[in-house]
Amino acid sequence: MANPVKRKDFLWMGWGAFAAFLGGAGAATTRFFVPNILYEPSQKFNAGKAEDFPIGVSTLWFKQQRVWIVRSAQGIYALWARCTHLGCTPNWFISEMRFKCPCHGSNYNPAGDVLAGPAPKPLWRCRVEITATGDLVIDKAILENRAGVREKAPFFAEYA
């Protein structure tokens, strides 16, 4: 037959359980004050010299940064290669002069406007900047796709 639990031992077990509860609550409270930070690579990158990009759509940074760089006679801009329908990655078809999404058939022109398909909005334009040294710096964290706004700085850099 097991020995019965003494009153003194029972009180120590109660105080021990209470101390464990306070320790857990204190640890949870301390953890609450530590910010949850997700360290990801910067969305800003140097694409190289602006003069190195020919007129038309460049797929140089498509695989690494998911960005197309488009240069026209007036300037240069960058399109984020993400379909505005469901987030798929469209492809550039130079023969048809359009971006086509393989998932649901959305089509975009080189300016990023919707030509066909279920996409509700134009492609996003990234912030672009031409530095004093002539480098093209693209920031994918700052995006715009509203007509009239995306054609101006900082989403379009005038470059002759």
Count Cβ atoms below 10 Å from residue 159 Cβ, excluding itself. 18
CATH architecture of structural domain 44-158: 3-layer Sandwich (2.102)
| pLDDT of 1 strictly over 80 | no
pLDDT tier at 41, thresholds 50, 70, 90: confident
Structure tokens at 62: 């498509």
Omega before residue 110 within 30° of 0, cis: no
Q: Which residue has the higher pLDDT, 140 or 3?
A: 140
Per-residue pLDDT tens digits for 65-104: 999 999 999 999 999 999 999 999 999 999 999 999 998 9
Does pTM top 0.85 for this prediction?
A: no
Rounded CA gap, 130 and 52, in Å?
12
Domain ranges of the chain: 44-158
Instruction: Name the residue among 52, 46, 51 with its Cα closest to residue 64.
Output: 46
Structure tokens at 150: 């995306």
Contact (CB, 8 A) for 101 and 83: yes
Contact (CB, 8 A) for 54 and 69: no
Contact (CB, 8 A) for 49 and 135: yes
